[in-house]
Amino acid sequence: MQIAKALTAAKVLNPTAYKNAHGLSSRSFSSDPYHWNVNTVVHILERREYTGCTVNFKTYTNSIWDKKQRDNPEENWAIFENTHPEIINPEVFKKVQEIRKQRHRRTRTGKSSMFSGLVYCDDCGAKMRYCTTKYFEKRQDHFVCGKYRSNTGDCTAHFIRAVVLEQLVLNNLQVVISYVTAHENYFRQIMSEKMSLKSSEIIKSAKRKLAQKEKRLTELDHLFIKIYEDNVAAKLSDERFVMMSEQYEDEQAMIFPSCKPKLQSRSGRMKIWSCSLKRQKSTMD
């Protein structure tokens, strides 16, 4: 919101106006070339491709008959690093995402809490809003569930005073620090066990993803052979064979981009074999 306002005030051309000014076609229309929409800024800030990578499988369709594009969860994305020059440093990009996750809401009074954006409702999981007015004393500032709206929202009036929260966090920190001081070795051991457990979970999940990809590659190999045999047996036209084999190739290349040169030469060979076999067959007939 603040970036969008600053860009609008600085009279920076928005993407639609910039495209129009440079003779590029644009699907959207903008009546004010300097008006920046909040969503446009969010889209730019969250676009991972600007760090020089290619992101595939951001959306998916259920089948070839159901064309509706659905958003794929981020863990299912396939990210290929360094496929083109970066325009945003990956470290800066990472930092921006962290800041966006924990951003503090500005209150009209200019007052803020160190816990703004970090407190979640235990009941519904929504973020809790920091509430204050210029007439409030410090002890009256509080957090309330973001989904609660005077009996019309999705949650009830879960509420905690900011001073109570600060005291609870302080007490907890004191307990943890005194525990660590008294049992330093034991604490180190527990922490290192936790960290190794986490890294083994990451490895397990990476292995699972790799196995899924390999399974799909094998399936695609079988499909290749099947359409090749159908083509030789004249059950599948040449055009259809070329079209389908190209589709399989594209999918394989998306799963493992490094496979592409190998795949191209293999499918190229298959296409040549298929044509020459059919030529031989027709000569024999």
CB of 150 to Zn ion, least distance (A): 14
CA distance 7 to 16: 14
| Max Cα–Cα distance, the chain, nearest Å | 98
Q: Are 74 and 112 in contact (CB under 8 A)?
A: no
CA distance 56 to 161: 45
Closer by beta carbon to Zn ion, 118 or else 255:
118
Closer by beta carbon to Zn ion, 81 or else 123:
123
CB of 50 to Zn ion, least distance (A): 35
Amino acid (1-letter code) at residue 169: V
CB of 158 to Zn ion, least distance (A): 5
Contacts with Zn ion by CB under 5 A lie at 121, 123-124, 145, 147, 155
Tokens standing for 260?
A: 């592409």
CB of 64 to Zn ion, least distance (A): 42
Helix, strand, coil % (nearest 5) of the chain?
A: 55, 10, 35
Closer by beta carbon to Zn ion, 143 or else 228:
143
Cβ neighbours for 34, distance < 8 A, ≥ 6 positions apart: 7, 8, 11, 12, 13, 14, 17
Closer by beta carbon to Zn ion, 121 or else 236:
121
CB of 149 to Zn ion, least distance (A): 11
Closer by beta carbon to Zn ion, 122 or else 239:
122
Neighbouring C-beta atoms of residue 56, cutoff 10 Å? 14
Q: Is 31 left (phi over 0), alpha (psi -120 to 50) or beta?
A: alpha
Closer by beta carbon to Zn ion, 165 or else 244:
165
CB of 207 to Zn ion, least distance (A): 37
Q: Are 161 and 169 in contact (CB under 8 A)?
A: no
CA distance 51 to 58: 16
